[in-house]
Chains A and B, each alone.
Chain A
Amino acid sequence: MLTILYDGIAYGMLLFVLACGLSVTLGLMNFINLAHGAFAMAGGYCTVFLVNRLGLPFALGLPIAFLVTALIGGLFERTLYVHVYARSHLDQVLFTIGLVFMSVAAVDYTMGSSQQFVQIPEALQGQFEVDGIGMGKYRLLIIVICGLLTVALQLILAKTRFGSRLRAAVDDQRVARGLGINVGAVFGITFAFGSGLAGLGGALGAEILGLDPTFPLKYMIYFLIVVTVGGTSSITGPFFASILLGIGDVAGKYYVPKLGAFVIYAIMIIVLIWRPQGLFARGAAR
């Protein structure tokens, strides 16, 4: 029981790191980015390439994965995404689904369709026991890293100048512009950072989530659940949503193995019907 809770929290933390970039882009620009998973996949494959092929240490692979995906994200944002912000939601959905299809086929072509595994160091494998509960070391690492990231994100958002600009832009874009905040630049940086986080999540999660070319399609729905259920106005909302989702998913797969995903989708639909703006969102509707 506690093992499930533990695994669920690790899984949820991972989902949060993967999805928080998406929640910010959605909240900031009202932009539906279905291709977010593609950046996570890019991070995962980047680590696989660095660690398995080039033999770099795992601890070095993670930050590089972050940087590379952030770079790719920033590049895509400046060259492609900027043209689509003002369009209708239908256009955004089409555009990003197109990107997903392209990324799936491109990864299939370059890396092959089989599942990839990152070689994690010996020290992180295996379990240790606390009060008779088996806890995977690697999962503990995930919880620690993601927990630190969450705290850091919260601090950046709450304490720094950039954070307050970002919050202002999310709250009311037009007024923020009027106050002289360069919303476009804020958004570009945030997008790149969010993509980088997704890449980091993909790299960390390759072991747990599995990494193959269909990754963006498989987990797209999970990211969207986190964002829609958690709301887009803060990062605590998505955080609790992803922890809930993580525990629910692990517990569901454990207790009702064949209905696991069904339970998740059902809960999502119920929450959306009950609170269309998200479980933890403030009243303000966009």
Chain B
Amino acid sequence: MTANADEVARYLKRRARWSPFEIAFWIFAFATIWLFPGKYLILKDTAILALFALSLDLILGYAGIISLGQAAFFGFAGYFAGLVAKYGIINEPVIALVCSGLIAAALGFVTSFLVLRGSDLTRLMVTLGVSLMLGELANRYSNITGGADGLQGVEIEPVLGRFRFDLFGHNGYVYCLIVLFICFVIARRIIYSPFGLSLRSIKGNTLRAAAIGVPVKWRLVAIYTVSAGLAGIAGALLTQTTAFCSLDVFSLERSADLLLVLIIGGTGYLYGGLIGAVIYKFLQDWLSNLTPQYWQFWIGLVLVVIVLIGRERMAGWVRIVRSLLVRLGTWLMPRLPALGGAAPDGR
């Protein structure tokens, strides 16, 4: 029995080890600070979107909950961060960020009980309904939130009292990237824990998972709460770095775009959201330069084509590319011990 447990523990540890490819990915991500100095604004948006998509991946890719209302947490925490900064309740951005994440997680915990009932369609409606309700509330109490004009007059103090958000977005991007990395590490820790494994079993077969003693309901509540917290942190980041927050943080488009991001990157593995965010932002930038007003058409087309081709088939290609890259990484690493960052990074 104990030998068995040891074996399981060893297996889990081996699985959770950082692969060379992952290390290369993050070195490259941080290298972008110096590589693309003129692109901070879009890079910053990408980092925020990546974090947001990561939060959705936790519930969609790992726990199998379809949600069209992730924007609820994003917007809720965004407004929270804006309001505490505006009225000087919490001046320090990092503390405000953590508080925003916590309050979004609290909202997630409360609403999780609504979401866990019913079929896919019911979940879809309830998640969407919650975010629309919050949007209506923000619109209603426009004396607090600024209503349709957005929340204005937000003054963000320097991060840790030293790094002020500058006009070019350099500090903002570095801040977002660090937060993204920390949140990613947390999510990674969760996914590779026994808890994460039990989530996978719930997604695979809920009945059987319950039969082998997984407390399905509480596991789902927990992951939904964590996911809400991460989405909240993403929303707070957006408010802090733009010093602005408007009603469209709650919109359906935001949640739908998020699904697209995740689908492009692939669900059910942690880098899906990050890679999807990069591709999506790149596509959006390119398409909106090409056809400023109608880029949504092409985004819609991408969605339709992805579904018609079949996500499994696409995921298959991604897996092939990934295994090739991993093999390349393991082949390169011993040869280039000092130059991990030089490993080619196709995505």
Contacts and interface: CB of A to CB of B under 8 A. Distances in A.
A261 B300 contact: no
Nearest to A267: B129
Interface residues of B, number: 43
Interface in A239-286: 258-259, 261-262, 265-266, 268-269, 272-273, 276, 285-286
Interface residues of A, number: 43
A83 B117 CA distance: 29
A212 B128 CA distance: 22
A229 B140 CA distance: 25
Interface string B114-138: 1001111110111011101100110
A109 B294 contact: yes
Contacts of B114: 269, 273
B interface secondary structure, majority: helix
B66 interface: yes
B303 A98 contact: yes
Contact of B117 (A94, A95, A276): A276
Contacts of A285: 119
Interface string B301-320: 11110111001000000000
B132 A101 contact: no
Contacts of B126: 269, 272-273
Given A26-B121, A102-B300, A94 B307 contact: yes
Contacts of B106: none
Interface string B246-265: 00000011001001100100
Nearest to B295: A105
B237 to A, nearest CB: 25
B121 A89 contact: yes
Interface string B272-301: 000000000000000000000111110111
A83 B305 CA distance: 12
Contacts of B130: 269
A66 B54 CA distance: 44
A104 interface: yes
A93 B132 contact: no
A89 B303 contact: no
Interface stretch (A52-60, A189-197, A220-228): A220-228
Contacts, number: 126
A100 interface: yes
A105 B66 contact: no
B304 A225 contact: no
Interface string A91-129: 101110111111111101100000000000000000000
Contacts of B259: 93-94, 97
A83 B137 CA distance: 40
B260 A94 contact: yes
A141 interface: no
A32 interface: yes
A90 interface: yes
A159 interface: no
A144 interface: no
A108 to B, nearest CB: 7
A156 interface: no
A193 to B, nearest CB: 22
B120 A89 contact: yes
A100 B132 CA distance: 18
Contact of B252 (A89, A108, A217, A262): A217
Interface in B23-60: 60
A153 interface: no
A276 B252 CA distance: 22
A276 B136 contact: no
A109 B300 CA distance: 14
Given A259-B140, A262-B136, A94 B263 contact: yes
Contacts of B252: 217, 220-221
A97 B300 CA distance: 7
A105 B304 contact: no
A87 interface: yes
A83 B308 contact: yes
Contacts of A265: 129, 132-133, 136
Contacts of A84: 307-308
B68 interface: yes
Contacts of A101: 256, 296-297, 299-300, 303
A84 B303 CA distance: 13
Given A217-B253, A265-B133, A272-B122, A108 B294 contact: yes
Interface of A: 26, 32, 80, 83-84, 87, 89-91, 93-95, 97-106, 108-109, 217, 220-221, 224-225, 228, 258-259, 261-262, 265-266, 268-269, 272-273, 276, 285-286
Given A102-B301, A273-B117, A285-B119, 17 more contacts: A83-B308, A90-B66, A91-B311, A98-B303, A101-B256, A101-B303, A103-B300, A105-B293, A105-B296, A109-B293, A221-B129, A221-B132, A225-B125, A228-B121, A259-B140, A269-B126, A272-B126
In the A-B complex, the 9 residue pairs with the smallest Cβ-Cβ separation, listed nearest first, are A98-B303, A101-B300, A105-B297, A276-B118, A102-B300, A262-B136, A89-B120, A98-B304, A95-B307
